[in-house]
């Protein structure tokens, strides 16, 4: 190959802009990489057809402005693509789709190029990647190790650099376990954030379309294309993701099934988050572990029976025996069992909600251990269950998750780390996961691509975060001051300490309890700038905060010394009549320290 394709989304788009590559050339190079026979693929779209499709797409005058222009991707073969067979990993089940799944269509409309449909654990039932008649994929980074399932082919395609990203699905961990086994990023969105229309259901009430990518930045780019539900103001706000400090949960008791290498990899990640300013907080994993058991040992397995049980009953010879046993196993549950399961889940969800009120996110091993393909063949059910120890509860709890590589272990096997947060915090999780990924694996290659993570572009941590408003405070709301609780009770987090632009004067207001300053803007004034703290506040709490501000204070726009603006406290000029000017001191803390 003459030169490497920069498959990272931003890098590939930049190469297009500079004229170094065209989408047609990228397609030719990708197809040259794909072996004639490889278990990654169930069906490929031909090179000729893809080039013709893209030529037609470019006839649209807005084609060049589309966010996914010329980006190659793959989809798991339980997603419909009009005119292609959907097999769900079972040839006897195959049908030709009449329409394209919503998530796939959004990507095609945005200019992405579909290369083909990928291998999977049959009917998306498994975390191993071996329950398929199309041949088991192995890890792209460790020969003989499982690829992880059920979205095995999608993860391996990204890890081998055959596509920029791929779609999988995730009910019990299928968008995260393969990411760990192949040392790439796996984002499992909040349930309902991305449409599952056109996806063969596993557990319809829990299924999510997931994304495998080289970096968290790529996953965040794809999020904006796939998102089919726009959050309400402040919904899912993650002020901790832009804060100087954050709290993450570490289970009091961890299970690694005797795998010391996996344990060591996990605690390297704990140390990595501490380096970034995080505080590790221990918590009881028991309620989450109990919820996880509901997925396969409880009535939710009956959803798999509802989805494909009728087919399974009549096609014993055509199905993987383990998959068929799980699907038909749901018949033993009654409607009473289903209701009791829902009641217990609600109790466990209440426990989880209480937990997340004191934590920003959880840090868990993606898997507690790693298996070879042969080890899975020896004990397919028990070892599959072990792989889901830290993943099975997430969709039941309506949470979001991002899995990042933990790096290769001392024994050469892969490791993975997952950040798990409350509903809607996907963007914040991706930001934090990107930071951790780069602490753990900066000089390591992405999957089997040979491209070091340090050569890719990180997420812009200074970019505005959806659902959060930046708020400058100057006096009684500063850290350690008497009204700071009005910020913290609204889940606001301190971002940084800075100074205003020179045009501000500061006064000590008379008769205020507790004592407060007044910040006044005066055009043309060339002062020292006033020290302020910038806090990140969820948008939906700003109204109640504003209502608590007494006259003559109010919220306005404050110009900072770097030229940026934020909302913040300002004082009406009439309010400083007769007040002591303290501008020369440079801030409220210096004034209070004066005594």
Q: Does residue 544 have an active-site annotation? A: no
Sequence-ordered list of residues with C-beta below 8 angstroms from that of 256, at least 6 positions apart, any chain = 262, 263, 266, 365, 368, 369
Q: Does residue 76 have an active-site annotation? A: yes
What span, in angstroms and rounded, lies between the C-alpha atoms of 589 and 353?
37
How, if at all, do strands 72-76 and 165-170 pair? parallel
For 266-283, b/e burial (b = at least 16 CB within 10 A) is: bebbeebbeeeebeeeeb
Place of tokens 């205003």: 500
CB 73 within 8 A of CB 113: yes
Q: Does residue 37 have an active-site annotation? A: no
Q: Which two tokens stand for residue 194?
A: 């991305």
For 516-547, b/e burial (b = at least 16 CB within 10 A) is: bbbbbbeeeeebebbbbbbbbbbbbbbeebee
Vertex 593: Cα angle to 591 and 595 (nearest 5): 85
For 79-116, b/e burial (b = at least 16 CB within 10 A) is: bbbeebbbbbbbeebeeebeebbbbbbbbbebbbbbbb
Question: How many other C-beta atoms lie within 10 A of the C-beta of residue 295?
Answer: 23
How, if at all, do strands 580-581 and 246-251 pair? unpaired
CB 474 within 8 A of CB 544: no
Q: Write out the H or E segment, with its range, that includes residue 159.
A: helix 152-159
User: Catalytic residue among 117, 139, 147, 150, which?
Assistant: 150
User: Catalytic residue among 139, 151, 152, 174, which?
Assistant: 174
552: cis peptide before it, omega within 30°? yes
CB 199 within 8 A of CB 207: yes
- What phi, psi does 372 have (nearest 5°)? -85, 165
Alpha helices in 282-425 (DSSP H): 286-297, 301-314, 321-329, 335-358, 373-378, 380-387
Catalytic (active-site) positions: 76, 150, 174
């Amino acid at each position: 190959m003459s030169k490497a394709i920069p498959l990272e989304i931003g890098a590939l788009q930049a190469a297009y802009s500079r004229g170094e590559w065209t989408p047609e050339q990228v397609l030719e190079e990708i197809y040259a990489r794909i072996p004639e026979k490889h278990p990654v693929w169930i069906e490929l779209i031909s090179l000729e057809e893809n080039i013709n499709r893209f030529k037609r797409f470019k006839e649209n005058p807005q084609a060049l402005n589309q966010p996914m222009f010329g980006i190659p991707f793959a989809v798991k073969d339980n997603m419909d693509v009009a005119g292609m067979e959907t097999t769900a990993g079972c040839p006897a089940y195959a049908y030709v789709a009449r329409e394209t799944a919503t998530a796939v269509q959004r990507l095609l409309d945005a200019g992405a190029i579909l290369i083909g449909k990928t291998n999977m654990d049959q009917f998306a039932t498994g975390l191993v990647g071996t329950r398929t008649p199309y041949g088991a994929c192995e890890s792209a980074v460790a020969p003989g190790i499982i690829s992880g399932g059920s979205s095995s082919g999608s993860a391996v395609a990204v890890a081998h650099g055959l596509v920029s990203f791929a779609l999988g699905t995730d009910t019990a961990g299928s968008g995260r376990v393969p990411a760990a086994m192949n040392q790439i990023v796996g984002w499992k969105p909040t349930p309902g954030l991305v449409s599952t229309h056109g996806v063969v259901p596993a557990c319809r009430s829990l299924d999510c379309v997931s994304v495998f990518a080289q970096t968290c930045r790529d996953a965040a780019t794809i999020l904006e294309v796939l998102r089919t539900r726009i959050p309400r103001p402040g919904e899912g706000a993650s002020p901790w993701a832009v804060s100087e400090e954050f709290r993450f949960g570490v289970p009091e008791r961890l299970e690694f099934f005797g795998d010391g290498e996996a344990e060591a990899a996990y605690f390297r990640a704990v140390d990595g988050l501490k380096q970034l300013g995080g505080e590790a907080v221990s918590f009881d994993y028991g309620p989450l572990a109990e919820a996880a058991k509901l997925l396969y040992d409880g009535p939710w397995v009956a959803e798999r029976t509802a989805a494909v049980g009728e087919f399974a009953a009549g096609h014993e010879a055509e199905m993987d025996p383990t998959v068929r046993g799980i699907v038909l196993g749901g018949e033993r549950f009654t409607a009473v069992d289903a209701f009791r399961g829902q009641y217990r889940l609600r109790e466990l969800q209440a426990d989880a909600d209480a937990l997340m009120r004191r934590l920003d996110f959880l840090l868990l091993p993606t898997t507690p251990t790693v298996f070879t393909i042969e080890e899975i063949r020896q004990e397919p059910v028990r070892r599959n269950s072990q792989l889901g120890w830290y993943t099975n509860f997430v969709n039941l709890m309506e949470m979001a998750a991002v899995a990042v590589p933990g790096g290769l272990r001392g024994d050469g096997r892969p490791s993975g780390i997952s950040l798990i947060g409350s509903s809607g915090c996907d963007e914040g999780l991706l930001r934090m996961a990107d930071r951790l990924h780069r602490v753990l694996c900066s000089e390591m290659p992405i999957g089997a691509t040979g491209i070091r993570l340090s050569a890719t572009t990180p997420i812009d941590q200074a970019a505005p975060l959806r659902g959060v408003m930046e708020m400058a405070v100057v006096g009684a709301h500063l850290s350690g001051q008497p009204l700071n609780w009005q910020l913290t009770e609204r889940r606001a987090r301190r971002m940084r300490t800075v100074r205003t632009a020179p045009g501000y004067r500061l006064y000590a207001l008379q008769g205020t309890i507790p004592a407060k300053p007044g910040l006044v803007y005066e055009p043309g004034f060339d002062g020292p700038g006033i020290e302020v703290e910038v806090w990140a506040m969820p948008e939906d709490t700003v109204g109640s905060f504003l209502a608590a501000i007494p006259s003559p204070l109010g919220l306005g726009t404050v110009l900072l010394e770097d030229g940026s603006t934020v909302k913040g406290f300002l004082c009406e000029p009439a309010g400083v009549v007769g007040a002591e000017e303290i501008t020369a001191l440079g801030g409220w803390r210096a004034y209070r320290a004066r005594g």
